[in-house]
Every structure is written in structure tokens, then in C-alpha cells.
A and B are shown apart, each in its own frame.
Chain A
């Protein structure tokens, strides 16, 4: 877009345009063809900036350079209770996700397949989906205690709604012409569900799972950070109070990596199962 209105001037009898040979042109061309390399370079530049800022400009009580964080990862994992905390968190995520999927699928199919249920319950579901659940986090702790149960519950509470909503949409969005075609070929109601509605709904289901995973991550991590006696929340508080940015950054990085891995897995599943989609 920056070159609107201006075309490179060429002679009257324009010769064929050839790229000039030479090392500089070919690196530029390679970069152009593979934006992934440019992305890596951007990331490297950011890490470099972080490294320099932490070494030269910022008080070491507040920020540690990435090199130091990486080096002390081993020490982090040897800290009493940290590996256990990570395991607990992963377990909480897995259980919350599984429960969300089961409930989400059940409610989603029930509401989606019946127009009456849809009209009756969808507004309630959307209302619940839209409320800022963070305000009732203390209530969850009050009801479920400070152990894993409250974390799982809060995770489910965040993860179940996107799954319901996307499944309902997936069921409702079938083009009527597909149903008409099946009907005209003599399909029974069960056959229509099994061979038309259900396969159509699968990509939406996986899209819902992707959003559900994001929700579960948010819910579980929020609850952990709020109150935790042996989970990661305990350690983030500990490292913060002890002004230990190295360990804190290490822990946050590990958690971030975990989150990325989980999100990416679900996203790939969504892409794989949604291959036939054109949108």
C-alpha cells in the first residue's frame, strides 16, 4: 500500500525485468519468501532488548535478563514444591477441560437441537456468559474451599459457555438446503442427525473446544493466582514478596509455554477436523 500511485519508471521499450544478482538481493529475497524467518528475527530482537534492559537499565530487583532466567530454570525446578505445583495445575486444567467438554456437549446439543429449548434457554446462557465471573471468584473459594476443587470449578465455569454457544451455533447454522436434500432422498430423523447434523457440527465442536481451553486456562489460573496454598499461586506470591524476579519470570515462562502448548494442540485439532469448511 505504501507504493500506491507510483510505478517504477521504465524505458519506452521496457526490457524484461530481472532481479539483480548479488548476496544482498538474495537475502532480501529469501526474507520476502519466508516471513517466518523475519518473525524469528523480530523475536530475537525483542529478547535482545529484554536482555540489555535488564542488564544495564533496570534495577535487578525488578527485572532479570532472559539469560539468567534460563540458567536458573534448573534451580527453579529443584525448589521445594514447584514441580508438584505445576503438576497440580496441569491436573486441574485437564479435569476442568474434560468436565467443560462433557457438560458443554450435553447442554449444547440439547439446546441446539430443539428450537423450543433454544428460544427458552439460550438467552439465559448468553446472559450468564456475559457476566464478569471474576467478581464471584471469592464465592467459589467460599463454596469449594481453597484446594483444587475451587480451581477446577472456576475453570469449568469459564470453559463451558463457549463450548455450549459454539455447538448451538454449529447445529443451528446448517444450511437448510442440506436438510432439504437429505429429506428428499428419504432420510429419517435419526439418519439426518447422524449423517448431516452431527458431521456438520464437528468443526464447531472443535472450535468450541479451542475457546473452551482458553476459558479453562483463564479460570484455573485466575483462581490459582487468587489463593493457593501449594499451587503455583503460592509460588508467584512467594517470589513476588521476596523480590526474586528471576524465579518469578522462570515460573511465568514455564506456565506460558504450557498454555501455548495446550492452545496449539486444540487449535491444530480444530484445523484438522474442519478441513471441509470453506469459511
Chain B
């Protein structure tokens, strides 16, 4: 395809995307303002915007945001330390990889959200049941990626280092760790994302505080415009956190 046609096509695609999004927003506005869709089902976007401004200006979101972020942070720290440690230990021999990796992969394939009622029974409706669930779910990608990172270091690097007289510690510090790091960092990123999602999810289902809970609370109170505002807020926060984590990962990998 010639360069000019390519550029024109790209602009056309861009146009379709913008048109699509604008069309959706227009539909939304007209649907609520002009065609009279029930405000409780679909609030006027202008109202949603006002509610959002109010939420942000009044700082009402702070306590819920704090709860959610704290839960995510604690869960992530717990799953990181346990996941990387266990992953490293398992990766030390091919045999233990063959034994444990399928077990971990199998456990991860179960929808772990099912454990939430168990954790609620055990920890109550407070933050610890969310933290427990977040830790459990994000443990697996971190551990599995750590195993993949350390366990599948190209043999030639290990052989070469051995032939040059590397000690066990030198092998770890100068060969295994740098070789494994990119894969491990990806695992950490996935773990973070998954922890965030599962904590938001468990807040939605069974909680007394946090962003997910706030959305549910507003839904039950039929305060739909404000609920939409909080949904938008939560989506933006999630996107922001994911962008930060992804760029951190890429920055560390580029070395």
C-alpha cells in the first residue's frame, strides 16, 4: 500500500473512532435530555458531570479511596514477598518446577473470587477479607512468573558463568537475577492489576467501605447520577494506577 493511501486510511480510521465516541456521547445526551429515558436508569451526562465535580471538590471520595488503596497496597506487598520468595525456591531445581508449577497453574485457573465468602466468614466484612482475597489472587501470577524467570534462564549463561568460575552467590547476583528480572517484573505488574480488580470486586460484593462499596451504596439508594460519577472516578483511578505500573515495568525492562 502506498504511503499516501496509508496515511489517508489512518486518518479515516481515526475519524471513525472519534465519530463513534462522539456518537455515543451524543446518543447518551439526547437519550436522557430529549427522549426521556428514565433518569434512574440513565442519568443526564450533565448531571453526572456536576456530581463528579461535587465529589472531587468536597473531597468526599477520600476515605473510600484511602480504604481501597490501602487494601491494594497491603495485598500487593504480601503477595509480592510471598510470591517471589516461593517462586525462587521452587525454581531452584527442575524437579521441583515440574512438581509445583502445574499445581500453581491449576489453582490459578479456578475463579478465586469463589473464596470470597470463605474469607468474609473468616475475617468479617472489614478490610482484611478484601486484603486476603487480593493477596491470594495476585500471589499466583507473581509466583508463576518468578518461576518462569528464574527457572528458564538460558542454560548457556549458566554454563558460561560456571566455566569462568562463578560462585553460587555470583551466579545469583550477576546471572540469574538480571536474566529473570524482566519476566518477574511482568509478573508483578499483572499481580498488581489483578489485586486492584479483585479488591474492587470484593468491595462491590461484600464490604462496608471502599470505592466498590460506595458505588453499590449509591446504586441501592437509587442515586444514579452520583453512582455514575463514582464509576467514572474509579475507572480513571484504575487506569492511572495501571499506566503508572506499566510504565514502571517498561522502564525497568529497558535496561
Q: Which A residues have a C-beta under 8 Å from some C-beta of B?
A: 1-2, 4-5, 32, 35, 38-39, 42-43, 62-63, 115-116, 119-121, 123-124, 130-132, 134-139, 141-143, 214, 217-218, 221-222, 225-226, 236-237, 239-240, 243, 245, 248-249, 252, 255-256, 259-260, 263
Contacts and interface: CB of A to CB of B under 8 A. Distances in A.
In the complex, which range does the number of interface residues on chain B fall in? 35 or more
A5 B162 contact: yes
Given A225-B113, A236-B117, A135 B215 contact: yes
A248 B117 contact: yes
Nearest to A263: B109
B109 A249 contact: no
A168 to B, nearest CB: 15
Contact of B231 (A139, A237, A243, A248): A139
Contact of A138 (B40, B92, B98, B227): B227
A19 to B, nearest CB: 16
Contacts, number: 146
B197 interface: yes
A15 B235 CA distance: 69
B205 A222 contact: yes
Interface string B124-153: 000000000000000000000000000000
Interface string B192-236: 000011001100111000011001100100001001000100110
A5 B170 CA distance: 12
Contacts of B120: 240
> Most chain-B CB neighbours within 10 Å: which of A39, A255, A263?
A39
A260 B235 contact: no
B34 interface: no
B239 to A, nearest CB: 8
A42 to B, nearest CB: 6
22 contacts: A1-B91, A1-B92, A4-B162, A4-B166, A4-B168, A4-B171, A5-B167, A5-B168, A42-B103, A119-B9, A120-B17, A134-B201, A135-B211, A135-B235, A135-B238, A139-B231, A142-B40, A143-B41, A218-B113, A239-B117, A252-B115, A263-B109
A248 B224 CA distance: 34
B168 A132 contact: no
B114 A138 contact: no
A259 B115 CA distance: 13
Nearest to B122: A62
Most chain B CB inside 10 Å of its own CB: which residue of A1, A39, A249: A1
A43 B103 contact: yes
B238 A132 contact: yes
